[in-house]
Structure 1
Amino acid sequence: MLEFNILGISVLEWIGYAASVLVLVSLTMTSIIKLRWYNLAGAILFSTYGFLIGSLPVGIMNFLIVCANIYNLKKMYGQKEDFKVIEIKDNDELLIHLLDYYKKDIGNFYPNFEKKEKQLGIFVLRNMAVAGIFIGTQEENELKIDLDYALPQYRDFKVGDYLYKSLKQSLSDHDIKSVYCYSTQMLKYMEKMGFEADKKDNKSIMKKNLN
């Protein structure tokens, strides 16, 4: 089976190439968890490749890397993290700095975002570090989401999950009953957060009722 060729390259060589690509991709990940998962997959293939070609040092070393990744992933998923939301005050200097620093990345998800006066804002803290920024415009009992941004290293859905579970209480002083957005770029994320497709002024929106 391993002698079988694909495009003139043996299956064994393809395993080596695939392992190299996975390890390389893992190094581009800003999320530590994603880095660990990709690196784990690459190390599994490299370990397999090493044993198949009879190179014990390669096989054993990558097997140990597999064990290290599994240990760290188990530790990450089992770690109890502390989340907290803080309402953003007008002209908050930290917000101004973060919006400027992540301006280009924010533009990839919210190309039309613009910070305006009288918007409601929330910082999501994760282990006392700012992990997410939420900004919206109140329209009576609804809130139009202008920005729901997780910093690159925190994109594992935990920030959004905590945000939307605590949003009703966080916005209790403003009598917000539902939140919605026009953006469909993050449809998978919105659906995971409990949003459903709806219509507003004959335009498609994603909406979530705050129960």
Structure 2
Amino acid sequence: MPWLEIIGWTGSVLVVVSLMQARVLRFRWMNFAGSVVAAGYNAVVEIWPFAAMNGVIAVIDAYWLWRLTRERHDADVYQVVPVGPRDDYLRHVLGVHADDIARYYPSFALDDPGARWAYLVLHGDETVGVVVVRDAGEGVGEVQLDYVTPRFRDFAPGEFVYRRSGAFAGSGLRLLVVVDDAQDSGDYLRRVGFTHEAGRWRREVAPATP
């Protein structure tokens, strides 16, 4: 098979595989790469309608990649909504993603009587993250769940609960902890202000401002 034809097939495969991706950022990157390759191939073989179409798709993907990357740490784009741990909508969200949650948090149980605080992270009108914290006593809150929906798994919306929203100010908590078997993403926890000490991740809670 000629090398030029291989390049053309590579672009087509990337575009097709991109459509199978649940993660929005991964989809955009793969679709962008495939469209660029396909546009170049079609231009070389002078199939101009397809070259133009793939070129436009690449420009659209580039715009969304720029926007998604720019917004990923923007507190004005993500909203944190506190809900009770028995909230019906929270239970609906957790039920929809129950199998996925069980993969990463097999010991999580919303009916734990110690569960006191729950937060939904929204991107527009889409729920993209859930954080649930139980009362471990003496001003310590244990993070039971810090879940991100598959579409936004290339992002870290939980950061807005810990670092940007002031969600725990006034809760009476002085410390948040994450045990090692509940969250294995050390890089993520460091980014949102946790430090690792004595086998667990911990983060001081900023007091409420008057």
Q: TM-score, normalised by structure 1?
A: 0.77
Task: Write the letter of the residue equivalent to 1:141.
Answer: G
Aligned position for 1:151? 149
Aligned CA RMSD, in angstroms, stands at 2.7
Contact 1:168 1:176 in 2 (8 A): no
Taking the TM superposition and a 5 Å limit, the aligned residue runs for 1:54-133 are 54-76=46-68, 81-115=76-110, 116-119=112-115, 120-133=117-130
Describe the SS at the equivalent of 2:157.
helix
Is structure 2 residue 203 aligned with structure 1 residue 208?
Answer: yes
Superposition deviation, residue 156 in structure 1: 4.2
Partner in structure 2 of residue 5 of structure 1: none
Q: Is the 8 A contact 2:143 2:178 kept in 1?
A: yes
Contact 2:135 2:141 in 1 (8 A): yes
> How many positions carry a matched residue from both structures?
199
Distance 1:83 1:75, change over 3 A: closer
Please, which of 139, 142, 146 is the counterpart of residue 140 of structure 2?
A: 142
Q: Superposed, which structure 2 residues align to 1:18-37 within 5 Å?
A: 18-37=10-29
**1:87-141 CA-partner distances (Å, limit 9, x unpaired):** 3224211122121111011112112211212312222233244322111222223
Q: Distance in 2 between matches of 1:90 and 1:36?
A: 34
In the alignment, structure 1 residue 49 sits paired with structure 2 residue 41: yes
- For the residues of structure 2 that align with 1:14 and 1:189, how far apart are their CA atoms? 39
Note the residue ranges of structure 1 that are not aligned, 5 or more in a row: 1-8
Q: Which residue of 2 aligns with 1:38?
A: 30
Equivalent-residue separation in structure 1 for 2:10 and 2:188 (angstroms): 29
What displacement does 1:173 show?
A: 1.9
How far, CA to CA, are the matches of 1:27 and 1:132 in structure 2?
23
| Contact kept in structure 1, 2:120 and 2:127, CA below 8 Å | yes
1:56 offset after TM fit, Å?
2.9
Contact 1:197–1:206 (CA<8 Å) still a contact in 2? yes
1:43 and 1:107 map into 2 onto residues whose CA distance is 36
How far 1:147 sits from its partner (Å)? 0.5
Q: 1:16 to 1:94 in 2, by over 3 A?
A: same
Percent of aligned positions that are identical: 25
Distance 1:191 1:106 in 2: 22
Structure 2 residue identity aligned to 1:65 = I
AA aligned to 2:130 is I
Which moves more between the two structures, 43-52 or 11-20? 11-20
Match for 2:7 among 15, 25, 28?
15
**In 1, are the aligned partners of 2:23 and 2:151 still within 8 Å (CA)?**
yes
What TM-score do you get using the length of structure 2 for normalisation? Answer: 0.78
State the structure with bigger RCO (CA 8 A, min sep 6), 1 or 2.
Answer: 2
Q: Distance in 2 between matches of 1:145 and 1:110?
A: 11
Q: Distance in 1 between matches of 2:118 and 2:64?
A: 34
Please, which moves more after superposition, 89-98 or 53-62? 53-62
Rounded Cα–Cα distance in structure 1 between residues aligned with 2:64 and 2:123: 19
Secondary structure class of the residue paired with 2:91: helix
- Alpha-carbon distance in 1 for matches of 2:173, 2:201: 20
- The AA in structure 2 aligned to 1:114 is A
